[in-house]
Amino acid sequence: MKPTHTKKPRDLVDGVLLLDKPVGLSSNDALIKAKRILNAKKAGHTGTLDPFATGLLPLCFGEATKFSQDLLEADKTYETTVHLGITTNTGDTEGEAIATHEVDVTVAQIEAVLAQFRGPILQVPPMYSALKRDGKAYYEYAREGITLEREARPVTILSLKFLEYSAPFLKLSVTCSKGTYIRVLGEDIGNALGSGAHLNALRRTQVGPLGIDAMVTLEDMQANPAPLSMLAPVDALLASFPAVMLTEELAKRFLNGQRLALGKEEIAVPAEQGRVRVYLGDKLLGTAQLQEYAILAPERLIAFLG
């Protein structure tokens, strides 16, 4: 009789991993590898990075997954290298070259063109993207040689900085709103310069309040005998929101989903209304909306973490 092998049960892991995604790996593959190293039961990422891109990919585990939407909505910062003069069918190095042009531009011309792309702009989503139509991803249509009509969508380029130009490579720093495609931005800048372009490199350096200082690699995790120690706490995702500290009695009511009239309690509240993170001591209870008259309305509650 063959011996039966039982799978090791997955662990309940809560926290945030600031992964430095390597080039060539999809965001989902990176998540699967990190989840396996941590033996975590529940995990999710906070928006994808293209396989050719590197840099900050926040991965949420356990209770942190309840707040991943906040990072999907957050502004993001990238450093990118735009290769002027060559257009590819994907807008990056993974595609095939479909057109080439001479590159004869000056830094002054580049600066003038960059000014056109700062602030609110309209962007046509690329065919090689995960957006869907009729239940089918755009990239699936593209691989079949089908090009769909796409409506331009409003996005905001909060910052667009010139870093370096060594023809034909243009290095830029971009901070943008959700839904922005840096590949499309690079192509549009190339078209405005009359040379066409594709992205040669892309590295994400900021997602909402999270930066690259505490990033770890998959190799770091594999080499660490205690990889769980590399996780940031759940509330690392919520650092941009003010905190409200509750008493034990109020915390019980909050966790039962009750709205709290904090104006009647001796509880310090922020001056501005809006989303807050809520604590009992150093224990995160969840998020809430602070409303008029200091009413605290529970929003997303988490299991009480020990």
Q: Which residues are designated catalytic? A: 50
Report residue 212 as tokens.
């690259």
| Cα separation, 227 vs 1, whole angstroms | 37
Identify the CA nearest to 19 among candidates 173, 234, 238, 230. Answer: 230
Q: Which of 287, 15, 25, 46 is nearest to 178 (CA)?
A: 46
Which amino acid is it at 230? M
Kindly state the tokens that stand for 295.
């009413």
What is the rounded distance in angstroms from the CA atom of residue 97 to the CA atom of residue 102?
14
Helix (H) or strand (E) holding 161: strand 153-166
Task: Kindly list the distances between the CA atom of residue 151 and the CA atoms of 87, 160, 204, 246, 254, in Å, as whole numbers in the listed order.
Answer: 21, 24, 26, 47, 44
* Nearest-angstrom CA–CA distance, 159 and 74: 14
Q: What's the rounded Cα separation, in Å, for the pair 209 and 76? A: 9
